[in-house]
Structure 1
Amino acid sequence: MQVLQVQLEIRPDPAEVGRARRWARSRLAGSGIGADEPLAETLILLVSELVTNAVVHTGCPAVLRLQLQGVRDDSSGAPSGTVRLEVADSSGCPPAPRHAQGDETNGRGLELVDGLADRWGWTPEGRGKRIWCEVDRCTSPGVTRAAAYPAYDGFAYEAV
């Protein structure tokens, strides 16, 4: 299985949310997920929600990780796989899903993550935690594996 993993350090500043979205969009495009694909828009929204939660609720630096796993679907030959997003921070406070009422402006983030991701969860990590979500990728049979996933020679890693 081919894996691309990239990460971005996030400062505890609300402006970092926009920077994280731009960074993720460029990394997705570089992996063959076009900016106009519904998958890209879903992933960018998930990045936005997870990074916003880290910045707003922890006040701590964080690390955003994006991991793309590419496999060939044996039945169609089309690329498929899983995209995993993770945000790790040094706050020991667990995520607290809420249900926003009416016109409330906050409290929908983890509900959105739950609705958009195929899986999500969190794990304690040292003094902090890692919140993650995964979206399964299935492309149409007309898209070739080479177009969807550049050759990674097994594993690539980038830290910014």
Structure 2
Amino acid sequence: MQVLQVQLEIRPDPAEVGRARRWARSRLAGSGIAADESLAETLVLLVSELVTNAVVHTGCPAVLRLSLPLAAADSATVRLEVADASDRAPVPRCVDGDATGGRGLALVDGLADRWGWSPEGGGKRIWCELDRCDEPRDAATAYGGGVSAYEVLAFDVV
């Protein structure tokens, strides 16, 4: 399967988060992923979380990359990456119910099929992948069949 790889440079400005979401939505149309498909909604939320983390926690420019299937398929993988110039590792935080932030990596952990990070040059790359399936996943499958390290945190907020 052919994959389209696109990227967007992000300035260290909170307004860039909205621009990144709009950009990601505009790239989905050519990949056969409908705007109202749950995969598209999840992808845009993950873009928002990872770009927000880069903008808020690093103060450095970043690069958002998407790898999208070129044609509709019953199963395909969509990959999202955010690379920035900060060498600080992403650190999941435990926050109380009144906090207005600090849940981004818990959301990524709960929504992505896989995610991780790696050092890159003087900075790092955070990535996540979503599998496009022809049938919806049940709750046990969606969270890896077991209890996620962040599951309690993610659901405590609801």
Match of 2:92 in 1: 97
Q: Among the aligned pairs, what percent are the same residue?
A: 81
Alignment of 1:74-85 (within 5 A): 78-85=73-80
Matched residue, 1:39: 39
Contact 2:32 2:70 in 1 (8 A): no
| Counterpart-to-counterpart distance in 2, 1:39 and 1:99 | 27
**Structure 1 gap ranges (5+):** 73-77, 141-160
Shift of residue 70 of structure 1?
6.2
Deviations 1:42-72 (A, max 9, x none): 0000000000000000000000000024699
Q: Which is richer in strand?
A: 1
What code does the residue aligned with 2:127 have? W
CA distance in structure 1 between the aligned counterparts of 2:134 and 2:63, rounded to whole angstroms: 28
Q: Is the 8 A contact 1:83 1:136 kept in 2?
A: yes
User: Do the aligned partners of 2:31 and 2:71 also contact (CA within 8 Å) in 1?
Assistant: no
Greater share of helix: 2
More contact order relative to length (CA 8 Å, sep ≥ 6): 1
1:37 and 1:82 map into 2 onto residues whose CA distance is 14
- TM-score, structure 1 as length reference: 0.80
Long gaps (5+) in structure 2: 136-158
2:82 corresponding residue in structure 1: 87
User: What's the TM-score once normalised by structure 2's chain length?
Assistant: 0.81
Distance in 1, matches of 2:92 and 2:28, equals 27
Match of 2:119 in 1: 124
Instruction: Give 3-state SS (helix, strand or coil) of 2:75's partner.
Output: strand
Q: How many residues align?
A: 135
Deviation at 1:34, TM superposition (A): 1.2
